[in-house]
Amino acid sequence: MPLRVRSGKWHFRFRLDGKRYEGTTGLVAMSRNERRALEMEPDYRRALEEGRRPTRRVIVREFNDAVRDFLDWAKAHYREHPNSYKRIKTSLASAREFFANTPVSLIDDGGVEEYKTWRANEHEVREITIRHDLHALSTFFGYAIRQRWTRENPISNVEIPSDADAVRMHILTPFEEKIYFQRAAKMPDLCDVARLMLNQGMRPEEVTSLAKTDVDFDRGELHVRNGKSAASRRTLNMTSETRLILGRRTAGESRWVFPSKRKKGGHIGRLNSAHDRLVNEAAEEGVTVNWVLYDFRHSFATAAAQGGVDLATLAALLGHGSLRTVQKYVHPTAEHKKAAMVIYEEIQKKAAAKTEQEGKTWNN
């Protein structure tokens, strides 16, 4: 069977009963795929001879090999959204360990359920992590179907934790904040990053990627230029403590506020490790365990919302493009809800009094 390359894929063609038939193998025209491409024509020919509609043969690919090719595609596909690519790659790391050399076509919804159980019991991950893992797997299987490594997406038949179930955040108490920063004083980078997150509501990577040119002391502003979306690229007004921290940090020779080797994820990884050690040690003093550096951003958002900042403004401060996204940061306390009802009752009384006064005026 002659093979030829069209649009970067192996195509076959043959003659049967005096007619010429052509078809695509769907395989990238590389030497490693040539043998599999050659094996596909007999199945196509046999289906025609038997009066059946030819169906594409599933190409057997082991999960780890398939994920490697998928990640090459994903890196290019998400080049405008590198954080999305990194999240997918991170989520698939555990799946590669679990499914290993299993052919992609043999992974069904039962296997995915076993994977979910394994993640929950073996790694003790939270619902939000399982949610991210399943979304990454779903994206992979969608690609696998197009590559004919499988016929269906098993994630379609698996329950994915809902947004409500997957919400995971910890809001610091004043006591926890005090203990944390007492201990963090010996770790300047961690301490300053956490303070800036708590003061400005920034993401950790937004803080560590600040250049000195992003800080405008004359205007009292700092600029987040490398945000992951248009909404996250924003200008923030500095608090007085932020000015002090950045004033101290911009005194050195480096162009960066937080100098490092600038290796992607390297600085954040070290800060997360230092944070985890600090929290575990501080547990003896009553600090809640199992919360992350990102929770300083959650704490900022909740404090701002409870302080009366409206959702639209809060979304702009946090760099979110929708109000729905920012609503998860709002956690009204019992006191705030009680105060809101007092305000609402006063509004009702004023409205009733106004109506009564207008009635008297009308009657007169």
- Digit-coded pLDDT (tens) for 82-101: 878 888 998 999 999 999 99
Give the residue-averaged pLDDT of 273-285. 89
Residue 1 has pLDDT above 80, yes or no: no
Share of the chain above pLDDT 90, in %: 42
**CATH fold of 63-166, please?**
DNA polymerase; domain 1 (1.10.150)
Fold assignment, 174-329: hpI Integrase; Chain A (1.10.443)
* Token duo for residue 4: 């030829």
**Predicted local distance difference test score (pLDDT) of residue 14:** 79
The helix/strand/coil state of 267 is helix
Please give the Cα distance from 103 to 85 (Å, whole number). 23
Residues 6+ apart with CB under 8 A from 201: 236, 297, 300, 301, 304, 317, 318
Task: Say which range, 72-81, 91-100, 133-142, 342-351, has the weakest mean pLDDT.
Answer: 342-351
Give me 15's structure tokens.
């003659």
Higher pLDDT, 271 or 20: 271
Number of H helices, E strands in the chain: 16, 6
- Residue with more model confidence, 147 or 48: 147
| Residues in CB range of 253: below 8 A, 6 or more apart | none
- The segment with the largest mean pLDDT, out of 82-91, 256-265, 319-328, is 82-91
Per-residue pLDDT, 92:
94
Average pLDDT over residues 225-253: 90
The pLDDT value recorded for residue 330 is 65
pLDDT at 167: 56
pLDDT band at 6 (very low <50, low <70, confident <90, very high): confident
Read off the pLDDT of each residue in 105-113 and give the average, rounded to a whole number.
Answer: 93
Which pLDDT tens digit goes with each residue over 163-207?
A: 655 556 788 989 999 999 999 999 999 999 999 999 999 999 999
Domains 63-166 and 174-329 share a fold: no
Please give the structure tokens belonging to residue 5: 């390359």
- Dihedral of the CA atoms 305, 309, 310, 315 (nearest 10)? -80
pLDDT at 191: 97
Domain positions in the chain are: 3-49, 63-166, 174-329, 334-364
Given a cut of 80, is residue 233 above it in pLDDT? yes
